[in-house]
Each structure stands twice: as structure tokens, then as C-alpha cells.
Structure 1
Amino acid sequence: MQITIRLLASFRQYTPAGHAPDTEYPCKVKDNARVSDALAELPIPHGKAYTFLVNGRHAERDLVLQEGDLLSVFPAAGGG
């Protein structure tokens, strides 16, 4: 199954070779993959905090992805 990945803000630097860092790129995942499965395959270094949206909406990590979904991932906001 194919979904689309969009890495935002400083995470653009982790866009795979062959894709412009300011664009979305296709990603194959297994059928019935959950958000957590797709996130585990991203080239974002372990330990980086992030937030994600599926099709522009907040989603849980256990949401089952559908063909054509857009997974947007960006660094978690910090502040104080």
C-alpha cells in the first residue's frame, strides 16, 4: 500500500535521497499498517520528539492507515 510522507520544519533534512526536501514523497507500507509502523520506518533519528498528522488531522499512533493517506511529521514544539 502506498501513503505519502511530508517532513516539515527541521525534519526536512531527513528527506530520503532523490526527493526534494520541501516536497512530499511516496512511501510503501504493509497493508493494515498503523501510524506507528510508518513512523518506525522514517529516517528520523531515535530520540527526536515529533508530532504528526494524518490527512491534516490529529491521529493516534494505532490508527490503521489507508491507501493514499498523507502522514505529516514535524518536530515537537518546545517552550517555556
Structure 2
Amino acid sequence: MANFTLSEREKEVLKLIIYEHTTNEIAQRLFLSQETIRTYRKNLLCKLDARNVAGLVRRALQRDIIPINI
């Protein structure tokens, strides 16, 4: 697995994705545009070597990137 670093903002976006917030909800919550959120998601997919959001969540859990209370 490749080494990478996530910014605090990337971690924040990732957490909101994991908790099933839509692009619009994340954008509103973080006072960013939807396009910016899509860019964050695209970069997260690349950094975590995931093909889709399900893979993104799986990789985040595997690598213990975000503590999740399930």
C-alpha cells in the first residue's frame, strides 16, 4: 500500500462521505462548492487507490484513517 498523507480537510470530507452525506450536503456544511467536493472525492479515490465510494470507505477502514463509531 502506498504511503500518502491526507489533509485535515480531506479527512473531514472523507468522514462526511462515510456518514453518507451527499455532495450538496457536504458542500453546504463546509461552505464549499459542489465542484470542490467532487475534486476532494476524486483526489481521495486516487490517494486511497479506490474505484468508487464503497472502495473508499473500505480502504479508510482498513487503514484506520478515520475513527468510526458504528
The structure in which a higher percent of residues are strand is 1
The structure in which a higher percent of residues are helix is 2
Same fold by TM (over 0.5)?
no
TM-score, normalised to structure 1, is 0.27
Q: Which has the higher contact order (CA 8 A, sep 6+)?
A: 1
TM-score, normalised to structure 2, is 0.29
